[in-house]
Each structure stands twice: as C-alpha cells, then as structure tokens.
Amino acid sequence: MSSYNAPLEIHVHGQVTLRPDVVFEQLQEALKPVWKYAGARSLADAAGSSYEDEPGIKFDPQEHTLQMCWTVEGDDDFRQVLDEMCMNLNDLAQTGAAIEVTFYDAEFDDEDEEDPEAETRDDFVMLFVGPDPAAIMQVQRDLLVQDVVSLMERHFDGAELGGVVAEIDKLFGQRFDDLVNSLQLGKPPRGSGGGGHGGMGHGGGRKPRHLH
C-alpha cells in the first residue's frame, strides 16, 4: 500500500503475551500482512512508527511479548490486514489480549470539525486475539467488568457492585456454555482482573491520534 495521499492515519496499540517457544521468524511471518501493507521488506524495516515518539512494533524475547504502539498511513483496506494479523497471532498467543485500533481521518481538519455537515472517517475498533475462544472470552469479560465498574463507581461504592459483576459473569458463562456444548472447550477462569475497553466495536467522535 502506497502512503501517497493516504486518507487515514491508523494507530495500532496493544500488548500480546506470546508462547515461550515463539521466535522472531515466526512473529515476522505472522505480521507479514502488516509490514507488507506498510511497503516494507521485513518486520524490522516496518517496526518504526510514522511518529518518532511512538515505540513502534517490538518483540521482547525475554518477556515473550509483542508490543505495538505504531502508526501507519493507509485506507479502509487496512481492516482486512487486521483480520489476517489477528488470525495469525492467535497461533502464537499464550493468553488472550486486546488490540486497540484508531482510524484518524487525515483529511478532516479543524475547520471541517466546525461544519455540522462535514463527516469524518474517524473510527475506533477493539480486536481480540488468543490461543482459543476461552482465552479471548476471558479478556473480553475482564475488560467489560473494568469498564462497567469504572462507570458505576461514580454513583456507588465498589463494594456494592459484586452483584453487577456476578451478572456479567452469568452472561459470559451462558455464552461459554454454548461453546462448550458445541465445541467441547474448557471453560475460562473467572475474575482475573483486567482493564480497558470491553467488546469489539466502533466509537464515535474524534479519538486521540496517539494511544501510549
């Protein structure tokens, strides 16, 4: 994908814990859709972000982690790249993880924002990866609990919210029971904590260009 006149700046942010046996060559192959989109010949060539103050894409072999705080110029076709990336990372992930992606409309400026008829292409999505559906559902559950508790603590003491968390667990438990019945999967553990945005979806309004 050439960055010439690219209408969007796309920021990818997240950390994925990888299996201890994963080596750089495997990660480079898994992220091939991403670095090829950026017009690079290898992951190392594409690892630097469009912004110098962002760490970019980093593999820590000691901690077995993939860290991403990386911006690339592109268009809506990058969504297909994200789908391929997540499928590939599923095969390397040790635990479930969330990846935040912000699409920033590079052609929408301050004057456009003041025009009620102007429309921005800004968007935000949350993606999930993991070794199996159990791990993915676990991180989804944890992030949702964090969001709900954070919102409700404006009105209630945290100690009063146990029932709310229990109801969320029931919802996820029922969803996973359906998976267990159809796929014979093991249930994920509950209550392991977490934080961030819950669920995969789209957010309205302008998002910050950088998500450090």
- CB-count burial class (<10 Å; 0-12, 13-18, 19+) for 201: exposed
The residue whose two tokens read 């029971």 is 177
Quote the pLDDT of residue 117: 57
Reference 135, options 93, 175, 165, 171; nearest CA is 93
Q: In angstroms, rounded to a whole number, what is the distance separating the alpha carbons of residues 95 and 138?
A: 9
> What CATH number does the domain located at 8-131 have?
3.30.70
Phi then psi for residue 124, to 5 deg, are -145, 130
Q: What is the pLDDT of residue 118?
A: 56
The per-residue pLDDT for 158 is 83
Cβ(93)–Cβ(1) under 8 Å?
Answer: no
- Distance between CA 103 and CA 203 in Å, rounded? 10
Q: What is the mean pLDDT of the chain?
A: 83
Every domain of the chain with CATH number 3.30.70 lies at 8-131
pLDDT score of 179: 73
| pLDDT tens, the chain, 212 aa long | 444 567 899 999 999 999 999 999 999 999 999 999 999 999 999 999 999 999 999 999 999 999 999 999 999 999 999 999 999 999 999 999 999 999 998 876 554 455 555 567 789 999 999 999 889 999 999 998 888 989 998 898 888 888 988 988 888 888 878 776 776 555 555 544 433 333 344 444 444 444 44
- Residue 182: the pLDDT is 72
Query: What is the per-residue pLDDT for 115?
Result: 54
Q: What is the 3-state secondary structure (H, E, C) of 121-188?
A: CCEEEEEEECCCHHHHHHHHHHHHHHHHHHHHCCCCCHHHHHHHHHHHHHHHHHHHHHHHHHHCCCCC
pLDDT of residue 173: 84
Question: What confidence score (pLDDT) does residue 186 get?
Answer: 53
pLDDT of res. 187: 54
Q: What is the pLDDT of residue 165?
A: 87
